[in-house]
A and B are shown apart, each in its own frame.
Chain A
Amino acid sequence: MTTAYWLRCRECGKTYGHQPLSICDECFSPLEVAYDLEFAKTRFTRETISQGPLNMWRYKALLPVKDTYVPQTPSGLTPLVKAPRLGAQFGAKNLYIKNDAVCMPTLSFKDRVVAVALANAQDFGFDTVGCSSTGNLANAVAAHAARLGLKTYILVPSDLEPAKILNTQVYGATLVRVDGNYDHVNRLSSQIAERYNWGFVNVNLRPYYAEGSKTVGFEIAEQLGWRLPDNVVVPMAGGSLITKIRKAFNELIELGLVDEKPVKFFGAQATGCSPIAKAVKNDTDVIEPQRPNTIARSLAIGNPADGIYASRVIRGTGGWAEDVSDVEIVSAIQELAETEGIFTETAGGVTTAVTARLYAHGRIKPDELTVTCITGNGLKTTDCLDGAYEQRQAIRPRLADFENFVEERNAASQGLSLAGESYGG
């Protein structure tokens, strides 16, 4: 059976078939994967999807892999949970969390994109794969490559969180720490990908890799009972995810799996690296690069590759973008954990804090069905909480000690509450 996808320039429309390439040689714009959606109508239905595996490969018919491909990497199908307690804090009545903090195997949504990228790396015959990464992608490439028996070269900024470095090296990956920020690493990766015959997931495999992000959108729709939300809040680094969720929703509408409805797209960035949010606020798709300075290192991309398209999606759907400070990011991580039992990394803190602000500013109405996307796990960025919690002295293994502990704690709580009353009066 013929494949029903091909590469196409996002600007001039020139097509390129199926090859490891990310840039149009006519207008030097990025390429993306296009599908024969007429062909897909018979293959991508609610029924065929429901019979598929309990992972992202249930949407295989609209991912760029051959019919004969047998998936080896069961990522995705993460929980979509209602968030009433977090919602109550924000004044939201219909808030959901798409929780990719528990995406397998490496606890971030990057497992989705890498699954598709490496399927294509194998198809193209690469024996070595690589990436430039702010951490989560490094973890995912290392783990998936180990499972598929591929060699790796993974480039990261030298100041990356220790957990993300360890979570790459443990899989036997060749890790290259680069003295520079992500944009430096990225540029070097572009040069390496031109020099060596390797599959760089976010360079020459980028169009395929990016398609994996669509599965977030497919899952949101399916988990809502095959309907679209009113709003989606998405973290933005390179700006790819938000555009691919939109693409997923549009494909579902075109294939008749969901009813058409206007969905507003909202983007979240850290103030210390907010080129896309700034463009949205200035009502433009011209992205001015920034030098990143934020604890949200997984979002610290000063020259976002898909910034133009992210800005267009947000402004074109009536959405908005916001950016939040490092202090707000840490508070939001704690708030999400305390209210919904979800421990996210700094990027999720950005998304949560921005979601709070969107409600506070009235850009999202309380009753609207809103999905906020959590893309990574807090266990990878625990350093941002260093010193946040006092470690009390250990008690002896005696009930009396425990009773004293409880009494002291109650007294302290009461003291706080009395102090609050006094202050309030």
Chain B
Amino acid sequence: MAVKVLLPNAFQKHTNNVKEISSTASNLPELVNDIEGRFPALRQHLRGDDGQIRRFINFYVNEEDIRFLGNEKYAFQEGDEVLVIPSIAGGCC
């Protein structure tokens, strides 16, 4: 079972310009560990002083915010596409 993970441009400085990976992680905590294992330089940027993932980093599975799917409890499905977007832009007023 593998999921496709798309990384944002803002990460690339810390990922040797890798934009996309395939991961066998079964859920979000495993995926974050996988990403940090591959790109150790990213770890200190991905987490705040409290060790938690910084709150401006959003994870989406296919077209849905992972928080609507159960967040850390969501079990990745074969073929899922995970999109990582820091500081989701936009906003009206």
Q: How far is the CB of B27 from chain A (nearest CB, A)?
A: 19
Can you list 29 residue pairs at the A/B interface with Cβ under 8 Å? A22-B89, A24-B10, A28-B10, A28-B45, A28-B46, A28-B56, A28-B86, A29-B54, A110-B92, A132-B89, A137-B92, A180-B63, A183-B65, A189-B89, A190-B90, A191-B85, A194-B9, A235-B93, A236-B93, A237-B92, A238-B92, A240-B92, A291-B68, A298-B93, A303-B58, A303-B65, A304-B91, A308-B55, A347-B93
In the complex, A101→B82 CA distance in Å? 40
Contact of B45 among A26, A187, A203, A375 (CB under 8 A): A26
Report chain B residues within 8 Å CB of A187: 60, 63, 83, 85, 88
Nearest B residue to A306 via CB reads B91
Contact of A298 with B92 in the complex, beta carbons under 8 Å: yes
CB within 8 Å of B: which residues of A? 11, 22-30, 109-110, 132-134, 136-137, 180, 182-187, 189-191, 193-194, 200, 202-203, 206, 213, 234-241, 286, 288-289, 291, 298-299, 301, 303-306, 308, 347, 375
Most buried by A among B65, B91, B93: B93
Report chain B residues within 8 Å CB of A304: 91
Contact of A25 with B91 in the complex, beta carbons under 8 Å: no
Report chain A residues within 8 Å CB of B73: none
Q: Answer whether residue B8 sits at the interface, using C-beta atoms and an 8 A cutoff.
A: yes
Q: Answer whether residue B67 sits at the interface, using C-beta atoms and an 8 A cutoff.
A: yes
Q: How far is the CB of B91 from chain A (nearest CB, A)?
A: 1
B70-90 interface code vs A (CB 8 A; 1 in, 0 out): 000000000000010111111
Contact of A202 among B14, B57, B86, B89 (CB under 8 A): B89
Contact of B67 with A238 in the complex, beta carbons under 8 Å: no
Interface residues of B, count at CB 8 A: 30
Report chain A residues within 8 Å CB of B55: 286, 308
Contact of A301 among B6, B65, B92 (CB under 8 A): B92
Task: Give chain B's interface secondary structure class.
Answer: mixed
Nearest A residue to B8 via CB reads A194
Known: A26-B45, A286-B55. A186 touches B89 (CB 8 A): yes
Nearest A residue to B67 via CB reads A289
Contact of B93 among A11, A189, A240, A289 (CB under 8 A): A240
In the complex, A189→B83 CA distance in Å? 13
Contact of B86 with A301 in the complex, beta carbons under 8 Å: no
Contact of A305 with B67 in the complex, beta carbons under 8 Å: no
Contact of B86 with A186 in the complex, beta carbons under 8 Å: no
Contact of B63 with A27 in the complex, beta carbons under 8 Å: no
Q: How far is the CB of B5 from chain A (nearest CB, A)?
A: 14
Known: A132-B90, A202-B91. A289 touches B54 (CB 8 A): no
CB within 8 Å of A: which residues of B? 6, 8-11, 13-14, 45-46, 48, 54-58, 60, 63, 65, 67-68, 83, 85-93
Contact of A29 with B56 in the complex, beta carbons under 8 Å: yes
Contact of B87 with A375 in the complex, beta carbons under 8 Å: no
Contact of A305 with B88 in the complex, beta carbons under 8 Å: yes
Contact of A190 among B11, B88, B93 (CB under 8 A): B88
Nearest A residue to B91 via CB reads A238
In the complex, A183→B93 CA distance in Å? 14
Report chain A residues within 8 Å CB of B68: 289, 291
Contact of B93 with A29 in the complex, beta carbons under 8 Å: no
Nearest B residue to A205 via CB reads B89
Most buried by A among B8, B58, B91: B91
Report chain A residues within 8 Å CB of B45: 25-28
Contact of B93 with A303 in the complex, beta carbons under 8 Å: no
In the complex, A28→B56 CA distance in Å? 7
Most buried by A among B9, B68, B90, B91: B90
Report chain B residues within 8 Å CB of A202: 89-91
Q: How far is the CB of B63 from chain A (nearest CB, A)?
A: 6
Q: How far is the CB of A139 from chain B (nearest CB, A)?
A: 12
Nearest B residue to A238 via CB reads B91
Q: How far is the CB of B46 from chain A (nearest CB, A)?
A: 8
In the complex, A234→B86 CA distance in Å? 26
Known: A27-B45, A184-B63. A305 touches B93 (CB 8 A): no
In the complex, A142→B39 CA distance in Å? 41
Contact of A136 with B92 in the complex, beta carbons under 8 Å: yes
Contact of B90 with A189 in the complex, beta carbons under 8 Å: yes
Contact of A375 with B93 in the complex, beta carbons under 8 Å: yes
In the complex, A200→B91 CA distance in Å? 13
Contact of A22 with B87 in the complex, beta carbons under 8 Å: yes
Most buried by B among A137, A187, A235, A289: A187
